[in-house]
Structures are given as structure tokens and as C-alpha cells.
């Protein structure tokens, strides 16, 4: 199969890119590993409450005859120039393209601390996804901790599902949060959103020290200001911000800057006819993702006047992204959460002590199995970058667990 424009990711950026490119008449394919478009922010499920904006975008995608949405499909390898190896639940296949737009989003930054591998401990966004997918949490006691607006969103999702949210612990100091709140009137919609997500149990200058329990989570120990408190609970949702998903961009050879795919004013990557938009180019929220996606979509089909007209809106939301990054910058003391026996690589049971004196990621892998498990360093690699300053491992094909018959297509392609 071959298309004029291939878009990887059907979140806000990918949906906006497809709809922007559609009027050109180009053949467009939108590929995503979720069952339906929406990405993580508009994830569907039995307990999901989709916004009208998400529903409207889905309808618009379905109405465009030159847009094909390939749900439940993922990229597993680069098969050659402008060709990717794909796989869905039933089969693998090759996809060719003239233009590519990467809208691969972001994932949570998870930092190791004592007890973080106990059953009942998840990421903040992970808890949201589980609840939307049908996880029953009614009556459960939940603590949400880490950093960033996702904490409040996760707490709101849990409350709406009937959970008892006991604490929302934000590591940023009150002074930084007050400064951020003072700037919010520049984006009126965000003021209303913040008011809607407000939680009286929100605490600044507060972070997790340890998850306590034997067979599963029983309580959370928190640093709260200058004191330490222990909160009995059933679940802990803990996330320290977002990390751009750049693996496919790296595999293609796109230039990476500041842990994100580097783009120019047209959202173009360092490779000709390759673009990127949304959180794979840096975290900034759905509004920034959508305008970046629209710019990339217009630019990919040669509608540069349409793309340029969106630059002022992008600048407005980029300013919001910059304010987020400044206000929720991680405190260096979080590097001291892990103890000697705290697992850093959960897949291969590699503790902090085995990594602390290594020079870099390669040295760590040579002396342990760090990064060699199922997640292929996606969790421990980004954690190690924060803890030790190591450069995360470069991706190697396949980019995800893949069936052998799918991989054989690469050999057939070379032949």
C-alpha cells in the first residue's frame, strides 16, 4: 500500500493534520495503535467521557473520503526509504508514502522510589487510561503524586469514577504555582479548566518518598513541606511529567533536540518531506498539538499560505507550553528518591546500586541487563537520563514486540 501523506498517531495533532491536508485531494492514511482516534487525551472506553470537540473531530475524519484511518496498527520498523513495516492484530504489511507526519505523542516520565513496583502503584496517566478502560475504583482511597497538570486531570477522572482522592501531591513549590496561575488569564479557557479541576486536597512542595506495603500497596509516605506524612491508601498514581515519543523519529534519522524531534516553522523535520507535530516535538497541551498538526498538514500538501496563517496561534500556545515547563520544572532532589536496592529497570530487576557508578548507558548495559526487557528502555532509559544524565538508548528494530512472519516481510522486501 502507498499513500501521498502518511500520519503516524491519531491524537489531536494527527487528527488536525489529516483534516488540514484533506482538501488537497491527496490520499491520506492515519495510523494509530488505539482502537479509535483520539490519542491518550481522548482515549475511549466504557467509562470514558469524550468531549464534544473529540466527537466532532472523529466525525470529520470519517466524512473525508480520502482519509483512511488504520486503527489498532503500529509501526514496527523502517523498511527502507519512505517505507514502513506495520502490524495489526491479524497481519503485517508494508506502507509506502510521499510525505510523512509524525504525531507520536508522549509518555509519562516515571522515576524510581522505594515501593514503586508494588501492585496498586501506576502512572498518573496510566490510572486515567485504566479507569477509562473500565477499571472499577469506586470507594477506593487514591493518592496522586508527581508533577504537572496531569495530576489534577487524573484525580478528576478518579473522583468521577467514585474514588476517594485523599491527596494530590505536586512537587513544584507554591511560588512557582502562584506565578503560573497569575499568567493563566492570557489563556481564558485554561482559567475555566483550572477552576473545574481544582481539588482542595492539592498540596504544593509535596512529593512521594516511598510506597509502603508487603504484597500490595497499603500506604504512601510523602514529604509535605518540611514534614513527612503517611497516608493509608489503595492506589498511588505517580507521574513526573511527559517525555516525547521520539523512537520512530530517531529510527528514521530525524534530528533530535532537547529530547524532542526538531522542527522548523513549517513543522518540517531535518529529513525532506518529513514533518512532526504535537508532543513528540515538546509537551504543550492539546491546543498546541492541534495547531501544530494543522500547520504540518497544510505544509505537507503545499498549502503554505494556510500554514503561515496559523503561526500567530501557535506562538500563543507555545507561550503557554513555555510557562508550563518553567513552572513545573523538576526539583533535583527527586534524584535522591531511589535507594540502593530500589529497582530502576523493572523488566530485568536491576537495582539502583548496580547503575550508580556506571559511566553511561552502554556501560550500564554491559554490566547488567538494564534496558533489555520488554519496554526496551522506554521507562528505565528516561529515568536514567534524569538520574544520571545519560543519553537514552537509540531504538533498534523491531520498535515493539512483533510476530516473526511480520519481520520476514523485511527480508522479502530486501530480496
Spatial distance between the Cα atoms of 218 and 216, rounded to a whole number of angstroms:
6
Other Cβ atoms within 10 Å of 67 Cβ, number? 22
Does one domain contain both 379 and 271? no
Does one domain contain both 375 and 320? no
Which letter does DSSP use for residue 276 in this model? E
Residue 401 lies inside a defined structural domain of this protein:
no
Kindly state the average pLDDT of the residues 63-77. 96
Other Cβ atoms within 10 Å of 173 Cβ, number? 15
Among the ranges given (55-64, 130-139, 342-351, 372-381), the one the predictor scored with the smallest mean pLDDT: 372-381
Does one domain contain both 74 and 158? no
Does one domain contain both 22 and 87? yes
Assess contact for 361 and 381: CB atoms under 8 A: yes
Does one domain contain both 208 and 307? no
What SS3 class is residue 275? strand
Does one domain contain both 229 and 257? no
CATH value at residue 267? 3.50.50.60
Residue 61 lies inside a defined structural domain of this protein:
yes
Residue 358 lies inside a defined structural domain of this protein:
yes
| Statement: residue 218 has pLDDT above 90 | yes
| Statement: residue 235 has pLDDT above 90 | yes
Does one domain contain both 126 and 236? yes
Q: What is the pLDDT of residues 164-194, one digit of tens each?
A: 999 999 999 999 999 999 999 999 888 888 8
Does one domain contain both 175 and 207? yes
Does one domain contain both 83 and 176? no
Geometric angle at alpha carbon 332, from 326 and 334, rounded to 5°: 110
Assess contact for 384 and 355: CB atoms under 8 A: yes
Beta strands in 67-180 (DSSP E): 67-70, 74-80, 83-87, 92-102, 106-108, 121-122, 141-147, 164-170
pLDDT score at 22: 98
| Statement: residue 247 has pLDDT above 80 | yes
Q: Report phi then psi at 413, rounded to 5.
A: -65, -45
Does one domain contain both 68 and 15? yes
pLDDT score at 140: 97
| Statement: residue 303 has pLDDT above 90 | yes
| Statement: residue 372 has pLDDT above 90 | no
pLDDT score at 104: 97
pLDDT score at 377: 86
Among the ranges given (14-23, 244-253, 404-413), the one the predictor scored with the smallest mean pLDDT: 404-413
pLDDT score at 193: 84
Residue 78 lies inside a defined structural domain of this protein:
yes
Does one domain contain both 128 and 218? yes
Distances, alpha carbon 391 to alpha carbons 231, 359, 364, in Å: 36, 11, 12
Q: Which residues contact 147 (CB under 8 A, 6 or more apart)?
A: 170, 171, 172, 239, 240, 241, 328, 330
Residue 187 lies inside a defined structural domain of this protein:
yes
Average confidence score pLDDT of the chain? 94
pLDDT score at 92: 95
Kindly state the average pLDDT of the residues 375-398. 88
The whole model's pTM is what? Answer: 0.94
Spatial distance between the Cα atoms of 199 and 155, rounded to a whole number of angstroms:
8
| Statement: residue 47 has pLDDT above 80 | no
pLDDT band at residue 411, thresholds of 50, 70 and 90?
Answer: confident
Q: Which of 397, 319, 383, 382 is nearest to 352 (CA)?
A: 383
| Statement: residue 99 has pLDDT above 80 | yes
Does one domain contain both 228 and 257? no
Among the ranges given (195-209, 226-240, 338-352, 363-377), the one the predictor scored with the smallest mean pLDDT: 363-377
Among the ranges given (49-53, 152-156, 202-206), the one the predictor scored with the smallest mean pLDDT: 49-53
Domain membership of residue 220 as a residue range: 110-240
| Statement: residue 415 has pLDDT above 80 | no
Residue 383 lies inside a defined structural domain of this protein:
yes
Q: Where is the domain boundary, 296, 324, 352? A: 324
Domain total of the chain:
3
Amino acid at each position: 500500500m502507498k499513500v501521498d501523506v502518511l500520519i503516524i498517531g491519531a491524537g489531536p495533532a494527527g487528527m488536525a493534520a489529516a483534516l488540514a491536508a484533506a482538501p488537497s485531494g491527496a490520499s491520506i492514511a492515519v495510523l494509530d495503535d488505539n482502537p479509535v482516534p483520539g490519542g491518550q487525551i481522548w482515549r475511549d472506553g466504557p467509562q470514558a467521557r469524550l468531549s464534544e470537540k473529540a466527537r466532532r473531530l472523529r466525525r470529520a475524519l470519517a466524512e473525508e473520503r480520502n482519509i483512511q484511518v488504520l486503527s489498532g496498527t503500529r509501526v514496527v520498523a523502517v523498511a527502507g526509504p519512505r517505507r514502513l513495516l506495520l502490524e495489526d492484530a491479524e497481519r503485517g504489511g508494508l506502507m509506502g508514502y510521499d510525505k510523512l507526519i509524525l504525531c507520536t505523542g508522549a509518555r509519562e516520565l516515571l522515576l524510581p522510589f522505594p515501593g514503586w513496583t508494588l501492585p496498586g502503584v501506576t502512572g498518573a496517566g496510566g490510572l486515567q487510561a485504566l479507569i477509562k478502560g473500565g477499571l472499577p475504583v469506586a470507594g477506593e482511597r487514591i493518592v496522586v503524586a508527581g508533577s504537572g497538570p496531569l495530576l489534577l486531570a487524573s484525580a478528576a477522572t478518579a473522583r468521577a469514577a467514585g474514588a476517594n482522592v485523599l491527596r494530590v501531591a505536586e512537587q513544584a513549590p507554591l511560588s512557582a504555582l502562584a506565578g503560573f496561575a497569575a499568567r493563566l488569564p492570557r489563556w481564558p479557557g485554561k482559567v475555566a479548566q483550572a477552576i473545574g479541576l481544582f481539588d482542595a486536597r492539592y498540596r504544593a512542595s509535596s512529593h512521594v518518598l516511598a510506597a509502603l506495603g508487603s504484597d500490595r500497596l497499603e500506604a504512601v509516605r510523602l514529604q509535605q513541606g518540611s514534614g513527612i506524612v503517611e497516608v493509608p491508601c489503595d492506589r498511588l498514581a505517580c507521574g513526573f511529567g511527559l517525555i516525547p515519543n521520539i523512537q520512530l523519529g530517531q529510527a528514521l534519522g530525524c534530528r533530535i533536540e532537547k529530547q524532542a524531534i526538531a522542527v522548523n516553522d513549517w513543522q518540517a523535520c531535518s529529513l525532506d518531506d518529513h514533518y512532526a507535530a504535537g508532543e513528540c516535538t515538546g509537551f504543550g497541551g492539546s491546543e498546541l498539538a492541534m495547531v501544530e498538526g494543522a500547520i504540518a498538514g497544510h505544509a505537507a500538501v503545499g498549502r503554505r499560505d494556510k500554514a503561515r496563517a496559523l503561526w500567530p496561534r501557535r506562538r500563543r500556545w507555545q507561550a503557554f507550553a513555555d510557562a508550563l515547563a518553567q513552572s513545573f520544572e523538576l526539583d533535583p532532589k527527586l534524584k535522591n528518591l531511589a535507594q540502593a536496592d530500589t529497582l530502576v529497570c523493572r523488566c530485568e530487576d536491576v537495582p539502583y546500586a548496580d547503575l550508580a557508578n556506571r559511566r553511561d548507558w552502554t556501560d550500564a548495559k554491559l554490566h547488567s541487563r538494564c534496558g533489555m526487557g520488554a519496554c526496551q528502555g522506554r521507562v528505565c532509559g528516561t529515568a536514567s537520563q534524569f538520574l544520571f544524565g545519560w543519553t537514552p538508548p537509540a531504538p533498534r528494530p523491531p520498535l515493539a514486540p512483533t510476530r516473526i512472519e511480520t519481520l520476514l516481510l523485511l527480508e522479502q522486501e530486501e530480496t
